[in-house]
Amino acid sequence: GNPRLPVSTLHSQSLVYSRLISTMKLAVASLLLGYAAAFAPSQVGKSSTALNMVNELELGAVAPLGVYDPLGWLDSEPESFERRRAVERKHGRVAMAAIVGCIVHNNHITFDGYLSPSANLKFSDVPTGVDGIRAIPTAGLLQILFFFALVELAWMPASQYDGDYGVGWFGDNIEDPEEKARKLNAELNNGRAAMMGIMGNMVVEVITGQTMYEQYAAGHISPFGDGEGVF
C-alpha cells in the first residue's frame, strides 16, 4: 500500500496548520477592520471634523487603487465612514509601531532588567517573533489590555475620530492644507503597508518556524522552491 507518514510527523504538521489557521483568522479580521474605512471620492461631501480645511473624504483615494470600497460600505452606510476611517488610521499607527518593534526585537535589541521579577523573566529572555507573546505572564498581558482600555476610554477617546491628539514632541502644526493632505495621505499609506507587513510577517513565522531575521539570515526570502519551510 501507500507509505504512511509517522504519527509524530502528522502531529507536527497538524500543529503547524492549526497555528496557521488561527493566525490567518487574526490577519483577515485585522485587515478588514483596517481597510473597511474605504477610500472615498471627493464628491461625497466634507467630513464634520475638518482638519485645517483638509477634506477627510478626499484622503486615502490615491494611486494606484484610487477609490477602493470593496464591501460597498460607503454607499450602504455613509454615516459610518468617519468612524471607519478612524479605525483604519488607528490600526495603521499600531501596525507601524509593531513592524518597527519587530525589526528591533529581531535584532536582539532589548531593555535591561526584568520584564517580570516575580516570574524571574528578563527582557532578554523573551523569544523574538510571535513566540515572545507566549512568554509574557498572563498578569502582564492583562496589564497591557488594561492600559489599552484606559487610553481608549479616558486619555484618547475612541470617539475622537480626527486622530489629532496634539503634536507633542513630533514637530509643528501644519497650516498649509495641501502639505497637510500630503502628509496625512503618507500616514494612511504607510499604515496600510504596515498592516499588511506585520500580518504577513506573523503568518510566515508560523508557516516556516523562522523569525524575520532568521529567514533573511538563512536566505529564505522566496517561499517557493528554496527548500526551506513547508513549500
Query: Could you give the number of structural domains in the chain?
Result: 1
pTM of the model: 0.66
Q: pLDDT tens digits, residue range 152-185? A: 787 766 666 666 766 555 667 778 888 888 888 8
pLDDT for 52: 41
Centre a 10 Å sphere on the Cβ of residue 198 and count the other Cβ atoms it contains: 21
> In this structure, is residue 72 part of a structural domain?
no
Report whether 85 belongs to an annotated binding site: no
SS3 183: helix
Report whether 83 belongs to an annotated binding site: no
> In this structure, is residue 204 part of a structural domain?
yes
Low-confidence ranges of the chain (pLDDT < 70): 1-57, 156-163, 165-171, 223-231
Report whether 182 belongs to an annotated binding site: no
> In this structure, is residue 112 part of a structural domain?
yes
Report whether 187 belongs to an annotated binding site: yes
> In this structure, is residue 104 part of a structural domain?
yes
Residue 100's domain is classified under what CATH number? Answer: 1.10.3460
pLDDT for 87: 86
pLDDT for 157: 65
20 and 78 in contact (C-beta within 8 Å)?
A: no
Report whether 88 belongs to an annotated binding site: yes
Q: pLDDT tens digits, residue range 48-64? A: 444 444 566 677 777 77
pLDDT for 120: 92
pLDDT for 100: 94
User: How far apart, in Å, do the first and last CA atoms of the chain sit?
Assistant: 26
> In this structure, is residue 115 part of a structural domain?
yes
> In this structure, is residue 55 part of a structural domain?
no
> In this structure, is residue 75 part of a structural domain?
no
> In this structure, is residue 225 part of a structural domain?
no
Domain holding 192, by residue range, is: 7-37+80-217
Q: What is the DSSP string of 80-138?
A: GHHHHHHHHHHHHHHHHHHHHHHHHHHTT---SSEEEGGGTEEGGGSPSTTHHHHHS-H
